[in-house]
Structure 1
Amino acid sequence: MKKVHSDIVQFRGSHYDFGYKQGELLRDSFILPNRKKQWGSKNKNFLIDETQAKETLLAFAPRIWEEINGLADALEWNMQDAIRDFGGYYLEYTRSGCSIFTSSAYMVRNYDSSPEGYEGRFALYQPTDGGYATIGPTMQITGRTDGLNEKGLVMGYNFINRRNSEDGFICNMIGRLVLENCATVEEAIDLLEEIPHRRSFSYVLLDRTGKSVVVEASPRSVVARTSNVSTNHFELLTEENRYQMKDSVRREETIRTHLNETTDAYSAFRRLNDLDQGVFSEKYSTASGTLHTAFYFPESLEVGFALGPNRLPLMFDFDKWLQGERLLAKRINGKIDTKLPFPHMAEM
């Protein structure tokens, strides 16, 4: 088992200042040089029409644009490079797994992907220039893989397919936009219907009313359905599914089979985090191993987070943090059974 960690980032202030602070932190990090090595010559296939990307970001995410400017200034990068690395628009994304279960009171989710794309950052951000405060793990610095906002809206996404992509935002930036701009499930659905999507993903939403929906989103269509379980296949937009869905269907059936035994948040967390329950995955070599398990409570604004299997979650009281209480913890520690490197922990 390899010891792993996620760094906890806390910040209150403007988006530009948040970007600048993150840029300062990244100067001495392994993340950016490792990412450059990973991408290599493929960089030319990623992006971007800078003008188009800027126009789209300013239309849907003007505050994120300020954050990207702060990152660029701190790192002394040109905007072409900053948009490519942090803009979350029209960029290739590693495929992943993921399983999500909700009740009216909480969401619990496994984030499944490759360690080589996991940046090990968990951010609490309270903006002073607009947008809701958020908590959750980051992806590509500005994006979020899942999370909770101050209004009690919870979001997590599941990968569906990379085929037939079009120009648009990728999943982690979409997650950030939902959390920072929406207070309810209905507002989130409206936003997901409006923004352009690069890939096909399911976005699972839960708010303080207890309403839980799965939004199936592709570059061509967006539809919402009421459900409390989501893995890696669409049930409505079936034409967008991958050819191989056996493991996704198996995980969904495993969760549903044991729903009657899942009586509270902790038992739901154990259902997804324990190795012997049939949902936690160790398929790291195929980019579908479970990296973190998280659960979110819309009413109390509590969050639990664990790296690796069979772990007790580290608990966060986001409501107290919003009132000005600073977290003393610097890292979330865990263990994962893989030989693959994590880009934030050592040179690759």
Structure 2
Amino acid sequence: MQDVTSSITEFRGSHYDFGYAQGEWIKGTLMMKNRAREWRIRRPRFDVDIEETRRVFNEFAPYIWDELIGLQDSLDMGLEQVLQNFGGYRVYAKDSGCSVFTAEGFLVRNYDYHPATYDGRLTFFQPDDGGYATMAPVSRVTGRMDGINEHGLTMGYNFMHRKNPGDGFVCYMIGRLILETCRDVEEAVKLLQSIPHRSSFSYIVLDKKGITQIVEVTPRDINIREHHYCTNHFEVLTHENRKVLTDSYDRMTAMTAQVNSGLTAAEAFNAMNSSTAGIFSDKYSSWSGTIHTSCYFPKELKAWIALGGDTEPTELDFGQWLQGGPLPLTELTGQLDTTLKFASE
């Protein structure tokens, strides 16, 4: 068991300046050294097309392209290298876990993946040049794996498979696009229907009206369904599922047996975060260990988050911060049952 820390940061201003500031943060970490080692071990199975990537960002979120340029200027790095590491377009994905449950007033989610890919950073960001303010854990610097925006739209995603990938955005950049460009579930669904997708995922969205949708996505197809539970298999696009889904079905069975709309948010959170309830996972070396449990409240503009299992959540008041309040704290601490380090360590 090791102690882990995730820093909490804030930024109010332009995307370019945000990108530049993140580059300065990266310089003080081991992230780029770790990324270089990762690319040596696992060669990228994708091409970087600068002009195509620029075109797609300019179509869906031009200000995020400005953020990438800010990163480039700060790190004094070639644009192709910036896009390979932070662009979130045409990237190959490893298998992972994750479990999500939604009720009318909250979305609770276990983020399951490999610690070496985890930035160890949660950011409050309020842009002044376009896009909605967000509060979310950070993935690969520019991406978001779950989170909430100023309109109360919340989002999480679950991996399905990496067969037959297409040219398109990856999951963590899609999460960012949802939070920064969509006010509610209806707009999120329209975005997911319009953008190109690299891999197969389910995106789970909940807004302040209590509307939930699970959007099953592949590079070839998309389906929208109303449901409250999601692990790592499709319920409608079943022909796209992986052959071995035992772990996903086991977590779905454990979740549906213990978590339902009759529970309080605290009870649902505890069931998801409990190391003995069958939903939390300790399979870190297999790319599917639970790194954080998060719970978002659309109407209150608040969130709970905990690193590791059997941990009391820390509450973050996004609404107060949006009104100009100070950052509530500067780091989260917890414990993971692994010796694997975060990407920035």
TM-score bracket, shorter-length normalisation: over 0.9
Structure 1 runs, 4 residues or longer, greater than 3 Å off:
41-46, 259-262
Amino acid at match of 2:292: H
Letter of the 1:46 partner, please give it.
Answer: F
Partner of 1:265: 265
**Offset at 1:43?**
4.5
Indicate if the aligned counterparts of 1:88 and 1:169 stay in contact, CA closer than 8 A: yes
What residue in structure 1 maps to residue 100 of structure 2? 100
The alignment of Structure 1 onto Structure 2 pairs a total of residues equal to 345
| 8 Å Cα contact 2:137/2:146 also seen in 1 | yes
- The aligned residue for residue 173 of structure 2 is 173
- Superposition deviation, residue 293 in structure 1: 0.2
2:148 match: secondary structure: strand
For residues 315 and 262 of structure 2, the distance between their equivalents in structure 1, rounded to whole angstroms, comes to: 20
TM-score with structure 2 length normalisation?
A: 0.98
Q: Does the C-alpha gap of structure 1 residues 248 and 305 become closer, same or farther in structure 2, counting only changes over 3 Å? A: same
Match of 2:283 in 1: 283
SS at match of 1:45: coil
Alpha-carbon shift at residue 51 of structure 1 (Å): 1.5
Deviation at 1:261, TM superposition (A): 8.4
SS for the counterpart of 2:225 is: strand
CA gap 1:261/1:128 in 2 versus in 1, 3 angstroms:
closer
Secondary structure (helix, strand or coil) at the match of 1:276 reads coil
Q: Distance in 2 between matches of 1:120 and 1:222?
A: 31
SS at match of 2:235: coil
Measure, in 1, the Cα distance between the counterparts of 2:117 and 2:12: 27
The equivalent residue for 1:294 is: 294
- The AA in structure 2 aligned to 1:298 is P
1:80 alignment partner in structure 2: 80
Indicate the residue corresponding to 1:186 in structure 2.
186
Residue 197 in 1 paired to residue 197 in 2?
A: yes
Q: Structure 1 length normalisation: TM-score?
A: 0.97
**1:94–1:117 CA contact under 8 A, matched in 2:** no
- Structure 1 window deviating more from structure 2 (35-44 vs 81-90): it is 35-44
Please report the RMSD computed on the Cα atoms of aligned residues, expressed in angstroms. 1.2
SS at match of 1:101: strand
Write the letter of the residue equivalent to 1:258. Answer: Q
- Unpaired segments ≥5 residues, structure 1: none
* 1:90-128 superposed Cα distances (whole Å, 9 cap, x missing partner): 012232100000100000000001111111110110000
C-alpha separation in 1, matches of 2:111 and 2:42 = 25
Q: Do residues 231 (structure 1) and 207 (structure 2) align?
A: no
- Give 1:260 deviation, angstroms: 5.0
The answer to whether the 8 A contact 1:262-1:268 is kept is: no
Unaligned 5+ segments in structure 2 are: none
Q: What residue number does 1:163 align with? A: 163
Alignment match, 2:216: 216
Partner SS, residue 32 of structure 1: helix
Percent identity over the alignment? 46
Aligned equivalents of 1:244, 1:328: Cα separation in 2: 43
Equivalents in 2 of 1:20, 1:316: separation in Å? 25
Call closer, same or farther: CA 1:322–1:45 in 2, change over 3 Å: same
CA distance in 2, matches of 1:302, 1:237: 33
Per the alignment, in what secondary structure is the counterpart of residue 341 of structure 2? coil
| TM-superposition CA deviations, 1:275-316 (whole Å, max 9, x none) | 121110001111111000000000000111100000011110
Matched AA of 2:179? L
Closer, same or farther in 2 for the Cα pair 1:310/1:159, shift >3 Å?
Answer: same
2:109 corresponds to: 109
